[in-house]
Structure 1
């Protein structure tokens, strides 16, 4: 029984030993298979066979060095179109991807206030032009009257000198005829002066009527503005109806005046300037009538904000018209006084010529000689006064120059307002494609805020970031290889700009590379640019000497007659050669054929070196 038990124990131990040996041999085979090696029996070789191998010596050689940097593709010409003013966006006429032409409207801002400013500037220009026109008229009148006064004063002096000569020397028949002619001329001048006074009275009356009309228009404009701002009442509607009737009556009066004076203007009885003023009054009456009609219509329909602003503008224009009308009254009163004075002067001249004729016919007495001498003295004083009064022409001329300067200023303000108005219409700076739309209707735009981004699709560039350690090897005009992964294409680009300042945070420079025309190329794609950074030395072996097991790389190094496995780290590749960064030394021998049949420590025979 005991012998049986010992026998069983021995049998079990023998079985376990056999299993262990088999497992060990299986592990060896598995390792050989995992490493790419095959057992000698599968290679058809006996255990004693020695593989024949070719080897090369590890060499240090110099090869070109390249560096790859990444970047983003952008359009060569990109514009973030923004507004120069603050305003509400009322319309956006483009969408992302739309093609636009240079000058095409992209965005429209609210321009109601800017339009009101333009209209106000235009009104200021018109008011200044009207004031300048009146000043020019006054200057011409003053200049004409001054010249007339001087001529009359000189004529009176000459007449006084002739009269003095007559009373001293007596008269001849020819002198009597001259005296008679002088009386006839003086009488004609007196009649013309009387007619001029009548015309001046009419002009003054019309000017005063113009003031009344302007005051009525101003009051109507103010009432209209008040009604727009406060709402309408029954009495206000009644006032509007009364204003309409008054405007209609004023229009009839202006039309009648026009019809009465038109034949006189065609016959040359009145001056063109006078007829132009009558035409202007008729046009003003028509405008007031239309304004009154519009006011009645607005009372029934209600008012919008822009109509209220227009009413405020109408009040300002009515105030300007009233000032102009009052200025016309002043000018008419001045002209009336001057024409009355001219009438008196003509009357005095008539009396003097009549007295002179009497002296010519009757002869002179001592008293008449003294009177003639006194008249000469007075005529000389009158000439001095007329010459002194001529300086008023300079004052009027200075007023004209001042108004001309104000007119230029008004035109400049109008131009500024028009420029500001143009800023509300945002246009494309060049032809291209809308890459980004930043706003929608209802948004507020502010100066410098991008509204639409427009790009030129005809030319693209790659913007890469290059570290400061490599920027010294980058040259303008250098040709570089650019890989565009999204398009699976590699193209040649050329460096055309190196931004001369580095990013202080990343210590990198922006290098811009111009790209050729590539189908489907778009802004925002990823790109890689490969730069040549010079040459460097390294240890290189043929690529076929490298074996790979999973993530490991290595070679077989032959020492004497034995091949040993050596794990290495590889780097650059150049013309079939692979750089070995770690694991080898220069001059060592590596196997270049049959590495799949070798195992670590295999005896080999070198047949080619």
Structure 2
């Protein structure tokens, strides 16, 4: 009886062990049968417009740039601006030392006073000429009268000779007065010359103060107090950046797509992702001989000064467009087996769908067959999908 009891205990233990193994296998089988889903993001297919563009690259430049060059050389006494300062037209930028020029002005003023004093004496010369002419005429008339009387025997030879001598004296005095009058004309010319010299000296004095020819921002400063300024070297550079000009080189394939006054969009990503509105200001009528490209300038308002000369700009040129077509993001379309396919989510399952694509733009592509408006197309996670995979959508159901 004892061995039977031991056999029964072993049998029960074996049964329990086998029962436990079967339970573990069932649990493992259930776990292996769990459904795996893949996270994706989708967009809803809708009608829209697709535009094919060619993007050209340009550089931001100031709408106007002026190198301020002094009209005369000299030692710099004062520089009143720094790089980045905003200036108005006519504002003082640099002052030159005026010690020598001021002395030249005083010298010219003194020369003019002397010339004018000499000229004043010409009035007396004019009066002397008039007196000499009157005396000359009187002496001449007297000689003629004396010659008549002498012919009548009314006067002596001595009296006639005396009249003739008086006429010769009057004639000599008139010649001298007229010669003096010519000297007066020279004095008048000297006054004009002195006035011109003074005007030039004063202009030089005014030129010692260098002012801004335009309003704008100081982009460069080339000189400091104590240095020598020269008429061939700029002292500062002023740029106008309230409106900037984007300069781009365009090939012959696209140049006729741009016209003066045309509104265009340009993107400067270092400033912002949103495009800036601009307008074509000029289109070169001839290609550059070296690059065979045409220079185009596009003016863009820059009231906040965020656009800086030298920045890179992207300018999309519309080449072709399709309207009222089904549109999906370009990343939704995959190449599989030489076919264009997308994944459409239907009741939580991704279905591979072959499609026919039309015009492809920078971000979107037109679908001409294979999709319907309102369907949900996968745009994120599609590269990891196979037909029939179950998927989960992010909160909200769309990307």
TM-score range, shorter-chain basis? 0.5 to 0.7
The match for 2:54 is 67
Distance 1:463 1:40, change over 3 A: farther
Give me the whole-angstrom Cα distance separating, in 2, the residues matched to 1:522 and 1:546. 32
Alpha-carbon shift at residue 525 of structure 1 (Å): 5.7
Alpha-carbon shift at residue 95 of structure 1 (Å): 1.7
CA RMSD of aligned residues (A): 4.4
Cα deviations across residues 254-292 of structure 1 (Å, max 9, x unaligned)?
xxxxxxxxxxxxxxxxxxxxxxxxxxxxxxxxxxxxxxx
The match for 1:521 is 306
Alpha-carbon shift at residue 513 of structure 1 (Å): 1.3
Check whether the contact 1:87–1:445 (CA below 8 A) recurs between aligned residues: yes
The match for 1:535 is 320
Give me the whole-angstrom Cα distance separating, in 2, the residues matched to 1:500 and 1:443. 44
Cα deviations across residues 199-252 of structure 1 (Å, max 9, x unaligned)?
xxxxxxxxxxxxxxxxxxxxxxxxxxxxxxxxxxxxxxxxxxxxxxxxxxxxxx
The one of 419, 432, 453 equivalent to 2:237 is 453
The one of 99, 103, 118 equivalent to 1:112 is 99
Distance 1:65 1:384, change over 3 A: farther
Alpha-carbon shift at residue 89 of structure 1 (Å): 1.7
The one of 267, 281, 301 equivalent to 1:496 is 281
Q: Which has the larger strand fraction? A: 2
Check whether the contact 1:66–1:530 (CA below 8 A) recurs between aligned residues: no
Distance 1:428 1:121, change over 3 A: same
The match for 1:102 is 89
Q: Establish whether residue 598 from structure 1 lines up as the match of residue 387 from structure 2.
A: yes
The match for 1:211 is none
Alpha-carbon shift at residue 141 of structure 1 (Å): 5.3
Give me the whole-angstrom Cα distance separating, in 2, the residues matched to 1:521 and 1:144. 80
The match for 2:335 is 554
The one of 90, 107, 110 equivalent to 1:123 is 110
**Higher relative CO (CA 8 A, sep ≥ 6), structure 1 or 2?**
1
The match for 2:204 is 420
The match for 2:80 is 93
Give me the whole-angstrom Cα distance separating, in 2, the residues matched to 1:100 and 1:387. 72
Secondary structure at the aligned position of 1:493 is classed as strand
Secondary structure at the aligned position of 1:485 is classed as coil
The one of 481, 485, 509 equivalent to 2:265 is 481
Alpha-carbon shift at residue 481 of structure 1 (Å): 0.3
Give me the whole-angstrom Cα distance separating, in 2, the residues matched to 1:497 and 1:520. 22
Check whether the contact 1:462–1:512 (CA below 8 A) recurs between aligned residues: yes
Alpha-carbon shift at residue 401 of structure 1 (Å): 1.9
Give me the whole-angstrom Cα distance separating, in 2, the residues matched to 1:574 and 1:485. 16
Alpha-carbon shift at residue 454 of structure 1 (Å): 2.3
Cα deviations across residues 383-433 of structure 1 (Å, max 9, x unaligned)?
355246423333222222222223222322322232233222100113333
Distance 1:124 1:434, change over 3 A: same
Secondary structure at the aligned position of 2:162 is classed as helix
Name structure 2 gaps, 5 residues minimum.
Answer: 1-31, 38-48, 341-350, 389-399
Give me the whole-angstrom Cα distance separating, in 1, the residues matched to 2:228 and 2:198. 26
Give me the whole-angstrom Cα distance separating, in 2, the residues matched to 1:532 and 1:41. 52
How high is the TM-score relative to the length of structure 1?
0.44
Secondary structure at the aligned position of 2:182 is classed as helix
Cα deviations across residues 505-532 of structure 1 (Å, max 9, x unaligned)?
4444332212235434343262524243
Check whether the contact 2:53–2:361 (CA below 8 A) recurs between aligned residues: no
The match for 1:150 is 136
Give me the whole-angstrom Cα distance separating, in 2, the residues matched to 1:426 and 1:446. 12
- Mapping 1:372-391, distance limit 5 Å: 374-380=158-164, 382-383=166-167, 385-387=169-171, 389-391=173-175
Give me the whole-angstrom Cα distance separating, in 2, the residues matched to 1:544 and 1:110. 68
Distance 1:129 1:500, change over 3 A: farther
Give me the whole-angstrom Cα distance separating, in 2, the residues matched to 1:135 and 1:518. 65
Q: Establish whether residue 573 from structure 1 lines up as the match of residue 361 from structure 2.
A: yes
How high is the TM-score relative to the length of structure 2?
0.64
Give me the whole-angstrom Cα distance separating, in 2, the residues matched to 1:428 and 1:160. 81
Alpha-carbon shift at residue 572 of structure 1 (Å): 4.1
Cα deviations across residues 181-205 of structure 1 (Å, max 9, x unaligned)?
xxxxxxxxxxxxxxxxxxxxxxxxx
